[in-house]
Amino acid sequence: MQVTVSMELHNRVKRIVGLFAVGMLLVPVFSLSSGNRASGLETTKVIYLTFDDGPHPIFTPLLLSLLDENGAKATFFPIGSRLEERWENDDLQDLLNRGHAIGNHSWNHRNLSMEEENEITFQLNQSSAVTEKMTGYRPSCFRAPFGEKNQKVLETASALGMKHIDWTVDPQEWNDTSVEKSMNHIVKRLEDGAIVLLHDRRFLALPILREIFKTFPIAEWSYESLPDCGNGNEKNLRSATRKTGDVPIGKVVDIKKTGSNHTMTGWGYDPDRPEGGLQVLIQEPNNQHLMSIYTDSQHDFTFEITNLEIDGPICLWLKDEGLSRHNAFIGCHNAFK
Ligand SMILES: [Zn+2]
């Protein structure tokens, strides 16, 4: 496996970011179980956006685009039966590719605190089984429908390997409120580490999210997926679900700040190139320039970002080596000074 040569951008101008592939020169040392940091700035305040009750055929893709425009990561709690009926494996893999996390929100949105243990187990187990079939692993977190939980619910979930995730900010967009009212509530309640409850089945979640990004800008706030919803073995488990001809999957796992540089690490796997050497396409913000690096034999990639003077996220794709259906998008990511 050869080391990818470093690449200088053509027509370098002052604002341009320098991206250097360091390939196998750096041993990947990232933690797969940690939440996906949207920014390399350690002191940045964190917001955990969560979206319940999806997937919705129109609003969920729109929300995913809006999150990527801002390099933001979130956690989704889809309803199991809806997930099975509305999404293919590739749709859920795409959500994970972009750096988001997935949780369990029951099979068909029962109030679990009113149910017997059998039914609670069915509701949680059936939903996790759908996620596992699509992604190779079961969620490690859940959110009880309506937030209604008791000891029995928590214990049943715990036996299935799941921790409950509450919220700290509920803008009530499910209740046909206005964007203004929701924002008033958010501004009052939002602090470092806040968990915001939104619903991807509601159109109103979109304008509210747009306002959140305006009020809590990405240069100051880091939007991350919930660390409790990650899976330490995600790369291997997800890769095992792929078969010949499938589009690649992958993820940017970490963005580390070292001095004035950032190191971005991740992985990409295409079953049609099992030996590695998969092309990773990198697009810097506000520039058409596309650069590429390659994964190593362990399907990992690393590159350095220097001369950081950027005002938008860096977006990445994995080149499809199979039937050339399409390249896999692995999200847009922030790396600010
Ligand atoms: Zn719900």
Output the CA 50–ligand 1 centroid distance in Å: 11
Give the distance (Å) from ligand 1 centre to CA of residue 79: 8
Q: Find all residues with CB under 8 Å of 142, minimum gap 6, and list them.
A: 77, 103, 104, 105, 106, 124, 157, 162, 163, 164, 165
Average pLDDT of the residues of the chain: 86
What is the DSSP code (8-state) at residue 238? H
CATH fold of the domain at 45-229: TIM Barrel (3.20.20)
User: Order of strands, edge to edge, in the sheet holding 249-258?
Assistant: 18-21, 300-306, 261-269, 249-258
DSSP helix, strand, coil percent of the chain (3-state; round to 5): 30, 25, 45
- The single residue of 56, 100, 105, 199 carrying the catalytic annotation is 199
As a whole number of angstroms, the distance between CA 126 and CA 337 comes to 44
**What is the Å distance from ligand 1's center to 53 Cα?**
5
pTM: 0.88
Domain ranges of the chain: 18-32+242-333, 45-229
**Cα 167 to averaged position of ligand 1 atoms, centre (Å):** 12
pLDDT above 90 (res 63): yes
Cα Rg of the chain, angstroms = 20
Question: What CATH topology corresponds to 18-32+242-333?
Answer: Immunoglobulin-like (2.60.40)
What local confidence, expressed as pLDDT, does residue 3 receive?
25
Nearest of 6, 2, 14, 17 to residue 260 by alpha carbon = 17
How far, in Å, is the centroid of ligand 1 from the Cα of 105?
7
Please count the other Cβ atoms lying within 10 Å of the Cβ belonging to residue 14: 6
What is the DSSP pairing of strand 74-77 with strand 45-52? Answer: parallel
Kindly report, residue by residue over 295-335, the tens digit of the pLDDT. Answer: 999 999 999 887 656 667 899 999 998 776 789 999 999 98
Is there a catalytic annotation at residue 105?
no
Q: How many CA atoms are closer than 13 Å to the CA of 334, on its beta-carbon side?
A: 27
| Mean pLDDT in residue range 166-194 | 94
Active site residue 199: yes
Q: List residues, by chain if needed, whose CB lies under 5 Å from ion ligand 1.
A: 52-53, 145
**Selected residue with higher pLDDT from 311 and 33:** 311
Distances (CA, A) of 46 to 70, 200, 242, 276, 306: 14, 21, 33, 34, 24
Q: Please report which confidence band the pLDDT of residue 290 belongs to, taking 50, 70 and 90 as the band edges.
A: confident
